[in-house]
Structure 1
Amino acid sequence: MGLISEVLLLPFAPVRGSAWAIRQVLQEAERIYYDPATIRAELARLEEQLEAGEITEEEFDRQEDELLDRLETATRTSAGTGDGTARQ
């Protein structure tokens, strides 16, 4: 039955391949988004923007809270998976 189903599903191969590629891109984007080193670099860049007067204190606080929430999620999630990668 496996061969028959493969032949019948052959026209959908490009769609299945595209879906796989999209999943891979999304997983990599998520890995980078929740990478603690990336988040820390963004925090440092945010502080530089505040010191340079490019953003207000309120904007700094808002963005800092978002980044700290991401860092907390990344730390909590990676501790839960056991393999060091963040997943949601």
Structure 2
Amino acid sequence: MGLLSCVLLLPLAPVRGVIWVSDRLIDAAEAELYDPGVIRARLAALNRSLDEGEIDLPQFEREEERLLDLLDRKPLRPLGDIHGSPGTHV
């Protein structure tokens, strides 16, 4: 990137920073949402809730199905992949 383009794009730096931070937040949220360990722990807690009578069977089945779907689903984009290619810095 040339000196002229750096100077011309300098006013956009705060916007690019906000985009970068929001991408990091999305990556962290997706990592937690699709982490098999977290999902299995939530399934175990769900089973305990059913065993202890905190929830009824239909509610258990709905939540179990949702968690199992999350376990099978892949993130919309590979984690750490920003704007389509790994290693790209904004």
Which TM class, normalised by the smaller chain length?
A: 0.7 to 0.9
Which stretches in structure 1 are left out of the alignment for 5+ residues?
none
TM-score under structure 1 normalisation?
Answer: 0.79
Identity %: 47
Which stretches in structure 2 are left out of the alignment for 5+ residues?
82-90
TM-score under structure 2 normalisation?
Answer: 0.77
CA positional deviation for 1:32: 1.1
C-alpha separation between the residues in 2 aligned to 1:24 and 1:2? 27
Q: In the alignment, what sits opposite 2:27? A: 27
> What does 1:13-24 correspond to in 2, within 5 Å?
13-24=13-24
C-alpha separation between the residues in 1 aligned to 2:4 and 2:56? 63
Q: In the alignment, what sits opposite 2:73? A: 73
The alignment's C-alpha RMSD in Å is: 2.0
CA positional deviation for 1:2: 2.6
C-alpha separation between the residues in 2 aligned to 1:4 and 1:55? 63
Question: Deviation per CA, 1:26-85, whole angstroms, max 9, x where unpaired?
Answer: 1011011101000000000111111111111001000000000111114xx7xxx7xxx6
The structure, 1 or 2, with the larger RCO (C-alpha pairs under 8 Å, 6+ apart) is 2
C-alpha separation between the residues in 1 aligned to 2:39 and 2:69? 10
Between 1:39-48 and 1:2-11, the stretch displaced more is 2-11
Q: Provide the aligned length of Structure 1 versus Structure 2.
A: 78
Q: Which runs of 4+ in 1 moved over 4 A?
A: none
